């Protein structure tokens, strides 16, 4: 059928087919381009190339294609589809040759004239059906697939409507409530005010609000006090108790928030807002919106909105544009939305970097003088002059960055390392000096270290067969106090009842959080696949001190101690993407009073949100993977006592400062870096994620 197309179209499609074969383009990207050429009667190769690149960028997390960026930096396009497969220079050269034929005005003109593209850049009429949309502004034209353009528009409209809804608050009542919730902060000064108190004050008058900050800065503490504040204000006005929903992107993040928020609510005893008015049950966003099987739609939408007055979303950096759009669409216009998250963490796996885009100015705050004056009156906190800006936007007034870590000092250790990696302008702003400073931090680890620093160390590896790697994995997963030791040493008797089995499983699951290996890669020797295989080999004696159970086929995959990670939501099992369970050997058959001791089988224990245990047959778990090693992306929403990050032995585009920062901040007490080459670490400390979107101008 392609033979009926113009020769230039056929040639371009053949070129794109070569890029697919080279692993630089997805088959999906080619299929979309070919479909538009056939069904849309589009014969302009400049338009078809832009369509292929727009789809390719979506596959790498970008919401749209930056046309100017593509022309000036073509090497940033056509990213790897496999971590262990580099893109051929011939492919990069071929793309550069295609783009050299174009100038920005000419490319924009040809795209605007296309029958398959709606031209919003030139304020053209929108037919509502064209598969692509040209938008942005003259200095930065952006090409979108229509659905991503629609998602951004819904997000922008939902946020702008809430930013324009200025909620009136009695400052005297607010000040009284804040005084009841916040004791005077030790060490608070005009230069370092109580940002938690400021966040609560500003959020009380905002229908949309963001609280961002690194680990240990008190985001959960702040939002619990904020919810108590909102309930207290409602009670003072004799208004009904607010209906509040708490949500997180993954089951793992929801469980962690559930645990921490329960502890914080207990500390509110004596405040005007009763504990019962602040929920402690956290749902995944999918469960909150109501998943419809085999559909992209949800039960809650504009025509059937959520019955909530306030919605709080934790770990918001993991929320992609589609989910954020669906959430805003499902909320009543008068429902408040509060986002919590670390703006410097990795963005969502899917397209978009919503929290990062919305918090791009958070470090300098940009509060208007009138905002600062109001805060002084309402909260008693003075905003430092460097954070006051007469040109601050409406969005700036609805964002607070928490700046004090209550977990780590920045004098050394984990806190200092995270700050160095994350610093936009280190003492000498070049990669070599950032690398040198990081290596110096590792070299000057304090012994004995202060508890508020956290231990850091770096080990050089040549390969995963190194004695150092083997020793670290055996100690972490199978050594003293490891979860495998807890599993074997604390196993209950064969006659134990269900309560004893549950208690044992909870001990194992808690111990499993003590050590975790992270990697940036999925494929290869240093990817998830290769590392998990290697660790099973290293731990064979600890995993299988006795013959494995089950058939020969099942033994290849299931064994006592196998930790598994859910890779998709399974609502029939009430398990969510990101949930981690551990495989355990338990007696089966008979009943609790008289179990059949001659039969034992494997079951997988998962923690539940209420602190219990859910037991699942291995055969029912169709979307799990072994998780001795997990990707840094998958680790978001989790914390581990000791976190280990292993870097590739060669440069890789996936290595970024956000990735290294995210890995470091998963550690509660100890962080270990495994690397082979200074240059690879240096590249990781230099490169930042630059996702293209149009949300930076809400």
Dihedral angle sign, alpha carbons of residues 468, 474, 477, 479: negative
Report pLDDT for 315: 92
Report pLDDT for 279: 86
Lowest mean pLDDT among 45-49, 539-543, 661-665: 539-543
With a CB cutoff of 8 Å and minimum separation 6, the contacts of 114 are 42, 44, 47, 132
CA torsion angle 440 441 444 450 (round to 10): 170
pLDDT, one tens digit per residue, over 419-460 is 888 876 655 445 568 888 888 888 776 445 555 568 899 999
The Cα–Cα gap between 688 and 635 comes to: 19
* Secondary structure (3-state) at 14: helix
Strand pairing of 65-66 and 140-145? antiparallel
User: From its phi and psi, is residue 668 left (phi > 0), alpha (psi between -120 and 50) or beta?
Assistant: alpha
SS3 content of the chain, % helix, strand, coil (to 5): 45, 15, 40
| Distance, first Cα to last Cα, the chain | 44
Radius of gyration of the chain (CA): 27
Q: Are 250 and 578 in contact (CB under 8 A)?
A: yes
For residue 548, pLDDT beyond 60: no
Of the ranges 189-203, 287-301, 359-373, 421-435, the best mean pLDDT one: 359-373
For residue 693, pLDDT beyond 80: yes
| Residue 103 confidence class, pLDDT cut points 50, 70, 90 | very high
Report pLDDT for 549: 44
For residue 51, pLDDT beyond 80: yes
The Cα–Cα gap between 181 and 374 comes to: 19
Report pLDDT for 546: 53
Which whole-number Å values give the CA distances from 411 to 224, 436, 461, in the listed order? 29, 17, 28
pLDDT, one tens digit per residue, over 126-170 is 777 899 999 998 889 999 999 999 999 999 999 999 999 889 999
Q: 106 is written with which tokens?
A: 């000419």
Work out the angle at residue 508's Cα, subtended by the Cα atoms of residues 503 and 511, and round it to the nearest 5 degrees.
125
**Average confidence (pLDDT) over 214-238:** 91
For residue 595, pLDDT beyond 70: no
Per the prediction, the chain carries an average pLDDT of: 87
**How many CB atoms are closer than 10 A to CB 608?**
15
Report pLDDT for 311: 97
**How many CB atoms are closer than 10 A to CB 293?**
6
The Cα–Cα gap between 183 and 221 comes to: 13
For residue 271, pLDDT beyond 70: no
Q: Are 610 and 280 in contact (CB under 8 A)?
A: no
The Cα–Cα gap between 259 and 224 comes to: 13
Of the ranges 197-211, 339-353, 601-615, 676-690, the best mean pLDDT one: 197-211
**Average confidence (pLDDT) over 628-652:** 91
Report pLDDT for 599: 75
Q: How far is CA 168 from the centre of its chain?
A: 34
Lowest mean pLDDT among 11-20, 40-49, 161-170, 445-454: 445-454
For residue 329, pLDDT beyond 90: yes
Residue 139 sits at φ, ψ, to 5 deg, of -75, -20
Evaluate the omega torsion of the peptide bond into residue 448 and state whether it is cis, within 30 degrees of 0: yes
**Average confidence (pLDDT) over 570-592:** 81
Q: Is 410 or 516 the better-scoring residue by pLDDT?
A: 516
Report pLDDT for 191: 61
**Average confidence (pLDDT) over 645-672:** 91
Q: Are 645 and 673 in contact (CB under 8 A)?
A: yes
E strands along 299-369, which residues? 310-313, 336-341
**Average confidence (pLDDT) over 22-45:** 90
**Average confidence (pLDDT) over 311-316:** 95
For 584-608, give the DSSP string.
EEEE-SB-SSSB-TT-EEEEEEEE-
With a CB cutoff of 8 Å and minimum separation 6, the contacts of 238 are none
Q: What is the 3-state secondary structure (H, E, C) of 614-654?
A: EEECHHHCCCEEECCEEEHHHHCCCCEEEEEEECCCCCCCC
Report pLDDT for 303: 93
CA torsion angle 420 424 426 432 (round to 10): 90
**Average confidence (pLDDT) over 634-660:** 90
For residue 557, pLDDT beyond 90: no
Report pLDDT for 550: 44
**Average confidence (pLDDT) over 645-653:** 90
Task: Report the share of the chain in percent with pLDDT over 70.
Answer: 90
With a CB cutoff of 8 Å and minimum separation 6, the contacts of 574 are 614
| Residue 596 confidence class, pLDDT cut points 50, 70, 90 | low
pTM exceeding the 0.85 threshold for the entire prediction? yes
Q: Tell me which residue of 413, 348, 327, 317 sits closest to 667, measured CA to CA.
A: 413
Question: Residue 673: is it exposed, middle or buried by C-beta count within 10 angstroms (0-12/13-18/19+)?
Answer: buried
**How many CB atoms are closer than 10 A to CB 21?**
11
| Residue 552 confidence class, pLDDT cut points 50, 70, 90 | very low
């Amino acid at each position: 059928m392609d033979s009926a197309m113009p020769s230039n179209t056929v040639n371009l499609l053949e070129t794109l087919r070569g890029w697919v074969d080279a692993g630089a383009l997805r088959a999906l990207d080619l299929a979309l381009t070919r479909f538009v050429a056939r069904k849309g009667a589009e014969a302009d190769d400049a338009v078809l190339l832009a369509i292929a690149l727009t789809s390719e960028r979506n596959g790498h997390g970008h919401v749209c294609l930056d046309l100017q960026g593509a022309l000036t930096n073509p090497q940033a396009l056509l990213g790897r589809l496999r971590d262990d497969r580099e893109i051929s220079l011939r492919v990069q050269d071929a793309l550069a040759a295609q783009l050299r034929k174009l100038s920005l005005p000419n490319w924009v003109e040809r795209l605007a004239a296309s029958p398959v593209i709606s031209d919003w850049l030139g304020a053209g009429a929108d037919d509502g059906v064209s598969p692509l949309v040209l938008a942005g502004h003259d200095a930065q034209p952006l090409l979108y697939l229509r659905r991503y353009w629609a998602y951004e528009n819904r997000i922008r409209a939902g946020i702008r409507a809430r930013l324009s809804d200025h909620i009136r608050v009695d400052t005297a009542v607010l000040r009284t409530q804040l005084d009841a919730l916040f004791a005077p902060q030790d060490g608070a000064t005009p230069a370092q005010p109580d940002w938690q108190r400021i966040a609560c004050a500003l959020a009380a008058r905002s229908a949309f609000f963001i609280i961002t900050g690194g680990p240990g800065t008190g985001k959960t503490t702040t939002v619990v006090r904020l919810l108590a504040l909102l309930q207290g204000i409602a009670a003072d006005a004799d208004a009904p108790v607010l209906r509040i929903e708490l949500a997180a992107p993954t089951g793992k993040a929801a469980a962690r928030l559930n645990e921490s928020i329960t502890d914080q609510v207990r500390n509110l005893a004596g405040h005007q807002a009763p504990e019962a008015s602040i929920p402690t049950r956290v749902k995944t966003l999918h469960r909150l919106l109501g998943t419809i099987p085999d559909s992209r739609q949800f039960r809650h939408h504009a025509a059937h909105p959520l019955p909530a007055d306030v919605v709080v979303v934790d770990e918001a950096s993991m929320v992609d544009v589609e989910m954020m759009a669906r959430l805003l669409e499902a909320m009543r216009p008068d429902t408040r939305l509060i986002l919590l998250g670390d703006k410097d963490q990795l963005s969502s796996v899917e397209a978009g970097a919503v929290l990062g885009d919305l918090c791009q100015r958070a470090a300098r705050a940009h509060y208007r003088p009138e905002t600062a004056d109001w805060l002084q009156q309402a909260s008693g906190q003075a905003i430092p002059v460097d954070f006051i800006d007469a040109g601050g936007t409406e969005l700036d007034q609805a964002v607070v960055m928490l700046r004090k870590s209550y977990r780590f000092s920045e004098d050394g250790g984990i806190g200092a390392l995270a700050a160095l990696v994350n610093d936009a302008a280190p003492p000498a702003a070049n990669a070599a000096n950032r690398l040198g400073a990081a290596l110096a931090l590792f070299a000057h680890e304090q012994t004995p270290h202060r508890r508020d620093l956290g231990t850091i160390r770096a080990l050089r590896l040549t390969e995963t067969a190194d004695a150092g790697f083997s020793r670290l994995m055996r100690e972490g997963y199978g050594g003293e106090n490891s979860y495998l030791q807890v599993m074997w040493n604390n196993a209950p008797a064969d006659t134990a009842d269900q309560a004893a089995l549950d208690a044992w499983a909870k001990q194992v699951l808690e111990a499993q959080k003590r050590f975790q290996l992270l990697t940036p890669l999925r494929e290869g020797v240093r990817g998830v696949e290769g590392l998990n295989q290697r660790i099973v080999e290293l731990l064979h004696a600890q995993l299988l001190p006795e013959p494995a159970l089950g058939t020969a086929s099942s033994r290849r995959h299931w064994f006592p101690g196998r930790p598994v990670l859910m890779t998709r939501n399974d609502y029939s099992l009430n398990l969510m993407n990101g949930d981690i369970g551990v495989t355990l050997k338990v007696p089966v058959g008979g009943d609790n009073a008289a179990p059949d001791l001659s039969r034992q089988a494997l079951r997988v224990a998962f923690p539940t949100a209420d602190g219990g245990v859910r037991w699942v047959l291995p055969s029912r778990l169709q979307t799990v993977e072994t998780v001795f090693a997990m990707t840094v992306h998958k680790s978001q929403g989790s914390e581990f006592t000791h976190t280990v990050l292993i870097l590739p032995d060669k440069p890789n585009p996936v290595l970024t400062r956000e990735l290294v920062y995210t890995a470091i901040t998963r550690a509660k007490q100890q962080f270990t870096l495994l690397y082979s080459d200074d240059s690879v670490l240096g590249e990781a400390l230099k490169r930042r994620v630059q996702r293209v979107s149009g949300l930076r101008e809400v």
